[in-house]
Amino acid sequence: MKKILLKYPFFLFLLPLFFVLHGLTENAGLVPVSGAAMLLLFYLGVALGFLLFFYLFYRQFRKAAIVAFSLLAYQFFFGAVQDLFRDLFPGSFINKYSFIIPVSLLGFLGLLILLKKRKTIPDKPVLYLNLLFLLLISIDAVQLIMYSFRHQKSESVSNHLFQPCHGCPKPDIYLLLADGYPGKASVKDLLGFDNSGFEIQLKNRGFHIVDSSRSNYNFTAFSVASLLSMNYLPGLKGNNHDKKDLEICMDQMRSSPLLSYFEKEGYRFYNYSIFSFDGNPSYTTPTFLPQKTVPITAQTFTRRIVKDLWYHLATTFRMPSVIHRFKYADQINNEKLYALTEKVISKKSSTPKFVYTHLVMPHHPLYYDSAGNLYPISRLGDFHYHDTARRIGYLQYSNRKLLSLIDSIMKASANPPVIFLIGDHGIRELNKPIDDRYQFMTINAMLIPGSDYAGYYTGQSHVNQFRIFLNRQFKQQLRLLRDTSYLIRE
């Protein structure tokens, strides 16, 4: 075995394996295994391509492997090194890409020349690198197995909450989550707008509206995770940008006892949201949430270039299609998810449906005015979110779109459906200080066949939303939790 490790530069292929496995271990709740596997295959293909290309130059596999290894290491660890230099030398010219890229090119050119002058690469560096990455991979593999065991254990405990419901009606269920849709009181208090007209329209369609409803968390991932897990989130640090906190959120969503129960009851899950679930990836392009393999690749050289320079280059060289996709990303996602929902509404199925549609509206960016006119790029930006008139206009636009979608569901459904229209959090950003309670005040409206709204109560929070529904619709005996809201920091 030692002779093999001395002879062959396995480290070239162990490096991408370590990078992807380590990224998967650090982001176990954020990245699907299938996505990580595809990413690994891509990097292994790149490694092989580099090896063969540089072999044509050196006619030695070891030399070719060293150069290919250096290129991949630069790609993988660029962000970590860049962050280190930014901390050590803040504001320095050495952190500018105009310095980094030329110096990097000179460094690689020097490496090519140095290796060309050397006759051979000795055995010891090859053995060291092979053993090093085998050790690192083993450590990450053990950690990933331990995480998987803990995940399976917690999931099995959650599923013991439920009992089968023989003979219970199984209507199609639609969860329409309107991102950032505030409660009526907060719209009136903070924006000076009376939104009761929208609630009247809902009531005319048979909806019940929970008075003074509130979310349990003030940021999307946390709120949705709590809603779908029907529980509070364990072990949070309470930071919207904390990787472990987001991992907890994603883990709670994927192991949702609600989704598991619906699946056992014969429901088919349609995921038209901004989140990915096992076997049901999101159809959206990631915007403000980490999805797919982005948490692994976020620190790579190419990802940093796209993040830091791509939009600047697109505007400099006037690339309108790139600029449009960048500025209207959420609007494009909304249109795609809206269209998918409209399509599945009319889809005939022998099995009941659970459709989760998540639209980033009336959350900023504020794309439309009250008449449905799309704002030009020059009038988009987070600073417009503080424009009260524009926020009211986008809220009115959102109202019409939501009512239209609801009407489509009601019209196309062969049997009376269940429809939940819920906001995940309330108003967070204004030019003036606001009471934290407004961050949790949301809309919570529902249409249930037979108008069975017993159990829903004033001041109810989202953690009990589906506990109440399952108790009434599927004869479960889930206890209600105390209504509490937790403030998550930006």
CB 408 within 8 A of CB 343: no
Tell me whether residue 35 is in a domain: yes
If phi over 0 gives left and psi between -120 and 50 gives alpha, with beta otherwise, what is residue 155?
alpha
Q: Are 199 and 209 in contact (CB under 8 A)?
A: yes
Q: What is the pLDDT of residue 153?
A: 52
Asked if pLDDT for residue 160 goes beyond 70, the answer is no
Q: Give the chain's mean pLDDT.
A: 89
> In the predicted model, is pLDDT for residue 285 greater than 70?
no
> Of all residues in the chain, what percent carry a pLDDT higher than 70?
92
The helix/strand/coil state of 234 is coil
pLDDT above 80 (res 286): no
Q: How sure is the predictor about 157, in pLDDT bands with cuts at 50, 70 and 90?
A: very low
H-run or E-run covering 88: helix 61-88
Q: How far apart are CA 72 and CA 84, in angstroms?
A: 19
pLDDT at site 463: 97
Tokens of 403: 């009512």
* Each residue's pLDDT tens digit, 359-404: 999 998 999 999 999 998 877 766 666 788 999 999 999 999 999 9
Q: Cβ atoms within 10 A of the Cβ of 313, count?
A: 12
Residues 214 and 354 in one domain: yes
Q: Is residue 135 located within the same domain as residue 261?
A: no
Number of alpha carbons in the 13 Å side-chain half-sphere of residue 91? 0
The reply to whether 364 and 427 lie within a common domain is yes
Residue 299: closest CA among 215, 243, 246, 240: 243
| CA 380/CA 364 separation, integer angstroms | 9
Average pLDDT (114-130) is: 87
Last residue of a domain, one of 97, 115, 147: 147
Lowest mean per-residue pLDDT among 118-132, 244-258, 297-311, 333-347: 297-311
With tokens 């030398």, the residue in question is 89
- Residue in the block written with tokens 């109440």: 468
Q: Are residues 140 and 257 in the same domain?
A: no
Say whether both 139 and 176 belong to one domain.
Answer: no
Q: Are residues 106 and 202 in the same domain?
A: no
- Convert the pLDDT of each residue in 470-488 to its tens digit: 999 999 999 999 999 999 9
Question: Within this chain, do residues 407 and 260 fall inside the same structural domain, yes or no?
Answer: yes
What percent of the chain lies above the pLDDT cut of 90?
Answer: 61
Q: How confident is the model at residue 156 (pLDDT cuts 50, 70, 90)?
A: very low
Assess if residue 166 is contained within a domain: no
Cβ-based neighbours of 469, under 8 Å, separated by 6 or more:
418, 448
User: Average pLDDT in the 157-170 region?
Assistant: 77
Q: Is 50 exceeded by the pLDDT of residue 155?
A: no
Q: What is the β-pairing status of strands 173-178 and 418-423?
A: parallel
Going by C-alpha positions, the residue among 263, 384, 405 that lies closest to residue 340 is 405
DSSP 105: H
pLDDT at position 357 is 98
Count: domains in the chain = 2
Spatial strand order in the sheet of 208-209: 208-209, 444-447, 418-423, 173-178, 353-359, 268-272
Instruction: Indicate if the pLDDT at residue 432 is higher than 90.
Output: no
Question: What CATH number is attached to the domain comprising 441?
Answer: 3.40.720.10
Instruction: Taking the CA atoms of 326, 329, 335 and 337 in sequence, report the sign of the dihedral they define.
Output: positive
What is the mean pLDDT of the segment spanning 3-15? Answer: 87
Closest to 244 (Cα-Cα) out of 256, 253, 236: 236
Same domain, 24 and 139: yes
**Domain that residue 422 falls in:** 171-285+296-473
Same domain, 56 and 94: yes
Run of H or E including 61: helix 61-88
Residue 489 in domain:
no
- Does residue 29 register a pLDDT over 80? no
Residues 26 and 60 in one domain: yes
487 domain-assigned: no
Segment 65-71 shows an average pLDDT of 95
Is residue 98 situated within a structural domain?
yes
User: Distances from the Cα of 40 to the Cαs of 23, 37, 213, 413, in angstroms?
Assistant: 11, 5, 45, 43
Report yes or no on 488 lying in a domain.
no
Give pLDDT, residue 224: 97
326 and 462 both lie in a single domain: yes
Amino acid 429: pLDDT: 81
Q: Of the given ranges (3-7, 34-38, 61-65, 229-233), which has the lowest mean pLDDT?
A: 3-7
pLDDT of 315 strictly over 80: no
Q: Is residue 462 part of a domain?
A: yes
Cα 47–Cα 49–Cα 53 angle in degrees, nearest 5: 120
3-state secondary structure of 268: strand
Residue 414 lies in a domain: yes
Ranking 40-49, 259-268, 374-383, 477-486 by mean pLDDT, the lowest is 374-383
Same domain, 127 and 218: no
